[in-house]
Every structure is written in structure tokens, then in C-alpha cells.
Structure 1
Amino acid sequence: MDTRDRAERYLQAHGRLLDRLRFEALFAGGSRERVLAALRCYQNSDGGFGNALEPDLRGVGSQPEPVEMAFWILDELDAFSDPMVPAACDYLRSVTADDGGVPFVLPSVRDTLRAPWWETADDPPGNLIPTASIAGLLHEHGIVHPWLGPATEFCWTAIANVRQTSPYEARAIVAFLDRVPDRGRAEAEFGRLRDAILATVAFDPDTPGDAHFPLDFAPSPLRLPLFEAETLDRHLDALLATQSPEGGWTGNWPMWTPLVEHEWGGHVTVERLKTLRDYGRLSG
């Protein structure tokens, strides 16, 4: 049984309906519309997303990070023409801080069940996580919306102030700089920050714990020259080797309830298959 077939069996045993449908649409000729229908169930009347689309945020209410997760799914389906997109942008505009960015998480999270790292201040400022990734995806797909201009300026300003960074922030910066239309400015900022970004990367595939590997920064080939081909090849080999006996992959961060381990496992397994496909490592 090959990598794809083993992953399909894992998803049948562990994956959410959404992730099973994503697998079918991306790898088995399934319906794109069924994925979109499932994704709509996570969108609230305010246009934002919640309802544990991001498994560590168990609450019903909308938060910025699940919007990013929804947009990555829409990206894989090339579905940014869907009405979910302008509705989500309207939501983002409604929760944007005065600086033009959306916060990492809103104070309403305090009233919900969530992983312990989802904490915030009473009046949180904008954050590159997830503003930069969301803005990058909107630019990638040519979306025009009033939220995007101020958010883009927020990202440029925040990135210009970065000297040292953290893995999640670095990944958001890469997502933005790889997609934003002003390529000259993006390449200049990337050149300035490349060493700082690389300092957050775990280059040893056996690094334990919540490590961030090259393929987390480049889950598909980048425009930006962040990694050498040899580095990517080594980590693609490791990715294939770490498929579990059941056929899946899971996150390397704390799984704080048994349920989220299954939900993350299905999501991560689809993401890993996409990476192997995009780098030409998936047969069939």
C-alpha cells in the first residue's frame, strides 16, 4: 500500500468530514463543492470562522486565526471567488485594531474552551499572525477589499521593525513576502531578514518537541530562495519516513485533549500529502 492509500485509511479512521472531503477533492477526483459546503458550516453570521475549525479553539465564536485556516483551504481549491471570502474580509475589518492589523486572538476567547496558549490582553494590537498570511493569500488571488490595503501597510510596517523573530511570526512573514505584488520591496525585506528567519528553523529532522522545520516554512515551493534543494530533499525524505503505521501524521505540539489529536491528525495528514505532491514525491 502506497503513501496516499495509507493516508486515506488513516483519514477514514481519524479525520473530520472536512478533511476527508479535502482528501477526496485533492487526491481522488472528489467534489470540490462538497468541501466548500462543509467549510461553510464553520462560518458564522458575522463572516468570521469558529466552531473548532482551528481545533485548539473550541468555541463557536469567530476568531482571526480560523479565517486564516479557511483561506488556506480555499487556496488549495482555487476557490477565492466563493462568497465566503468577502464575508470573512468584512469580519476582519470589524475586528481590526487601530494599527491596521488583526489581533492574534480576541478577548472573547476567554469565555470559551481552548488550548492554554490562546491568551490575550484586553485590547490587543494587530499581529503579523495571522494578518500577514491572510493578506498574502488575498493578494495571491487578486482579491479587492477595503480591509486589504490597511492590512498590507500594517504588514510592511511591522516587518520593517523586525530584527529577531519567532517561528510562527517568521512563517507568517514568509507567507506574506512570497505573495505580495511589490516584488522589489518583498525581496529587499527578505534579504534583510533571511538570516533571522533561518535562525528559527529546526534543520535536524529529529529535533523533538514543537520544532519548526523547513517544510513548515515552505510547504510548497517558494518564490523566495529560503532553502537549498538539498535541505528540502532531506526533509522530504524524513517526511515520508515519519508517516505513522496507521498512515497519518500529526502535530508536534501538545495535544491537550484526545479529540484534538484526531482533528489535528486529519488536518496535518492532508497538509503533508499536499507537500509531498507539490514537491513531486507522491506517486499515483
Structure 2
Amino acid sequence: MSSGLPNDTLDKARSFIYRNARLLDRLRFAYYWEKGTKKAVLTALKGYQNDDGGFGHALEPDIRCPHSQPVPTELALLYMDDLDRYDAGMVGHIGRYLKQIALPDGGFPRAHLSINAFPHAPWWETSSDDAFSVNPTGSLLGLLMKQKAWMGYEHEPWFRLSVRQMWEHMENAEPDGYHEAVHWISFLRVFPDRALSRPYLNKLDEWLAKPGSIERNPEAQGYVHKVLDWAPRRDSYAAKFVTPEEVQLHLAYMQAEQREDGGWPISWATLSPAVELEWRGYLTVERLLTLKSYGKL
């Protein structure tokens, strides 16, 4: 461990994860720090995939619905992307699911109505599932374009229509906060036609540069998105909008937030103590990966 952090940061986090985290996040921790394998992580992830190809079963802990939903499916792709290993079978089945749920004019809804029949955070309450949402459409498309394990999506009408919907959305709006901007980034950063994406990247950059888009105060309370939420890795797109001094300040504050039990806290209310621990297990792995990326672990 590099100087600047207490030498028990990782040990305390390890204890928290093995006492409290889901199998999936325990295996992620084992892969990154204890010679675990990508295969083990992917095997655990596959347990969340339904026969229709989508993901459910509370992979997104605030969505307790076992049925497939767009956001847990996006999260599954993010897990694979973080491992830098996309499973061809899982991704191919995801493509089948996305074809089934794509809206007539392209894109995907934020959630399906089936979400309402199971416990869920209040912001996931859904009255309609026939409206386009950039969250999670942007990342679903971006991650499909990024992976190379399954290329069956490229000429699908639903994919082309969904890309067109993203362009139309970005033409007529700017990001509506963090939860839209990250989907702009995911989509635009990998779109192969750089000349086509450049005007929208410029629009995104102008928004990111505005005061208030990135929370600079490490002590800000509540559900805010700070420097290291936007730039959790050195190569994060938004890293160019923060200074090295801001990064170091937020890294120090992040490390100080580690609780005595070894885990990191979350900044929103959850459905139950069990759900809180699921989120904290996930977030603790993420915090460690951020510290590692910036040379602190």
C-alpha cells in the first residue's frame, strides 16, 4: 500500500465485505485483491439473468423485482465491462431481451410496470413503460458498442432506431443531471463516427463545465455527485473537468468516510437493512477500485 492511507484500509474493507456483501461482490473483491478469477464473477453474475435474457433478482438492490428490467440489465453489462471480459453467451441473450423490449421508435423505457409488484425504492415507481428514457438507453447502447464478444446487434433495426432516438434526444436537450450525463458519456465516448458525435460531446462538455454540474465540495451532504463520482478512475471522461488538487482532496475525504466496520456508507435511504448492506458491499468494492486507480492502494 502506498503512503498516505492507513495500512488497515484494505484489511478493514475485506472484513466488511466477507461479513456483509453479496456473493457477487465478494467474488469481485477476491478477483481484484486475492487472486480470484473473472470466471467466478461471471458465474455469479449469470445467476441474475432470466430466461428472456434480461437481468433482475435485485442485481440493482433498490429494485427487488425478480423479472427482467432495463437498469439491472445495464448493470450486468457494467459488471462485465469493469472486468474487461464480456461473456458472449450472456451478452447475446441480453441482445435478445433488448430486441423484445425496444420501443417502436427505438430506445428503452426506464423500467417495466412489473417493478411495482415488488418492493422498490420510491423513485422506481413506474406508471408507464412505453416512453423512451435516456437512462438507461445511452449506456445499454454504449456498452453494446464497446464489447466485442457478440456482434449480432450491429444490423438490427431496433439498434439503429435506438441510436437515432439518442441523437434526437441529445439534439433537443442537455443532460438532466448526473443520471443522464453518464449515459451521454457512455454512448458518445464509444460511438465510432467521431465527426457525428463531436457536436454532442461539445454540448456535454459545456454542461460539465457549468458551475454546479460537478459537486466540488467534499463535505456536501445528501444525494449529491462529487468529483470522484464523476471521475472514479484516472481515465474517466469527466476527469478533465477536475483539478489534481480537487482529486487529492476528495480522495482524502473518501478514505476518511470509511466506517469503523470497514465499509463505506451510502447517501440515500434504502428499503431495509439488508438492502443497505448490499449497496454498501457494492460501493465498498467501488471505493477501493477508485483508491487503487489513483495509486492509493
| TM-score greater than 0.5 by the shorter chain | yes
Q: What letter is aligned with 2:177?
A: S
Residue 236 of structure 2 corresponds to 222
Residue 47 of structure 1 corresponds to 53
Quick check: 1:263 aligned with 2:249? no
CA apart distance, 1:5: 1.9
Taking a change above 3 Å as real, the CA distance of residues 148 and 216 of structure 1, as seen in their structure-2 partners, is farther
CA deviations 1:112-149 (Å, max 9, x no partner) are: 22111112233431211111112222222245213543
Residue 244 of structure 1 corresponds to 259
- Tell me how large the CA RMSD over aligned residues is: 1.9
- Counterpart Cα distance in 1 of 2:175 and 2:82: 31
- Counterpart Cα distance in 1 of 2:175 and 2:145: 26
Q: What letter is aligned with 2:236?
A: L
Alpha-carbon contact 2:108-2:137 (below 8 Å) kept: yes
Match of 2:217 among 162, 184, 204: 204
- Counterpart Cα distance in 2 of 1:7 and 1:155: 39
Taking a change above 3 Å as real, the CA distance of residues 124 and 251 of structure 1, as seen in their structure-2 partners, is farther
- SS of 2:123's equivalent in the other structure is coil
Quick check: 1:280 aligned with 2:295? yes
Quick check: 1:138 aligned with 2:144? yes
Taking a change above 3 Å as real, the CA distance of residues 211 and 36 of structure 1, as seen in their structure-2 partners, is same
Show structure 2 runs of 5+ residues with no match. 1-6
Quick check: 1:72 aligned with 2:78? yes
Taking a change above 3 Å as real, the CA distance of residues 26 and 164 of structure 1, as seen in their structure-2 partners, is closer
Please, which moves more after superposition, 104-113 or 181-190?
Answer: 181-190
CA apart distance, 1:13: 1.4
Q: What letter is aligned with 2:165?
A: F
Alpha-carbon contact 2:257-2:265 (below 8 Å) kept: no
CA apart distance, 1:183: 2.9
Residue 157 of structure 1 corresponds to 168
Residue 254 of structure 1 corresponds to 269
Match of 1:26 among 32, 36, 47: 32
Alpha-carbon contact 2:185-2:237 (below 8 Å) kept: no
- Structure of larger gyration radius: 2
CA deviations 1:72-103 (Å, max 9, x no partner) are: 11112222143111101211121111231111
- Counterpart Cα distance in 2 of 1:154 and 1:278: 34
- Counterpart Cα distance in 2 of 1:236 and 1:188: 32
- Counterpart Cα distance in 2 of 1:69 and 1:164: 20
- Counterpart Cα distance in 1 of 2:184 and 2:230: 10
Residue 85 of structure 1 corresponds to 91
- Counterpart Cα distance in 1 of 2:62 and 2:270: 9
Show structure 1 runs of 5+ residues with no match. none
- SS of 1:157's equivalent in the other structure is helix
Taking a change above 3 Å as real, the CA distance of residues 159 and 227 of structure 1, as seen in their structure-2 partners, is farther
Alpha-carbon contact 2:110-2:129 (below 8 Å) kept: no
- SS of 1:7's equivalent in the other structure is helix
TM-score, normalising length from structure 2? 0.88
- Counterpart Cα distance in 1 of 2:202 and 2:73: 29
Identity %: 37
* Runs of 4 or more above 4 Å deviation: none
- Counterpart Cα distance in 1 of 2:31 and 2:130: 38
Alpha-carbon contact 1:165-1:200 (below 8 Å) kept: no
- Counterpart Cα distance in 2 of 1:160 and 1:169: 14
Aligned residue pairs: how many?
282
